[in-house]
């Protein structure tokens, strides 16, 4: 995996695409996601969802929503800023 230049002090700033300057639209892509859902079948044949578990086995990548530049470098700070 090639290392990209890490901007200093990025933890306080907004994420901005270095290619097109976009700071509004971002796309997160998770590879190889396994969703496991457990259901309980009731007496009448209906099902009640009990729990579900999402397991991400592949990489999670972040892309610019406008020019598709790989911004995975910023993904950790992206995660911290989701509310
Ligand atoms: Zn961009």
Spacing, Cα 36 to ligand 1 middle (Å): 34
Spacing, Cα 50 to ligand 1 middle (Å): 41
- When pLDDT is averaged across residues 55-72 and rounded to a whole number, the result is 95
Kindly give the residue spans of alpha helices, DSSP state H, lying in the chain: 75-80
Among 34, 22, 35, 36, CA closest to 74: 22
Q: Specify the pTM.
A: 0.64
Q: Tell me: the pLDDT tens digits for 38-63?
A: 999 999 999 999 999 999 999 899 99
Q: Calculate what percentage of the chain has a pLDDT beyond 70.
A: 86
């Amino acid at each position: 995996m090639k290392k990209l230049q890490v901007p200093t002090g990025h933890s306080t700033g907004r994420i901005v695409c270095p290619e097109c300057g976009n700071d509004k639209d971002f796309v997160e892509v998770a590879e190889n996601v396994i969703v496991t859902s457990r259901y309980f079948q009731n007496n009448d044949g209906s099902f009640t969802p009990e729990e579900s578990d999402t397991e991400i086995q592949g990489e999670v990548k972040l892309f610019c929503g406008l020019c598709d530049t790989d911004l995975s470098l910023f993904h950790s700070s992206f995660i911290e800023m989701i509310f």
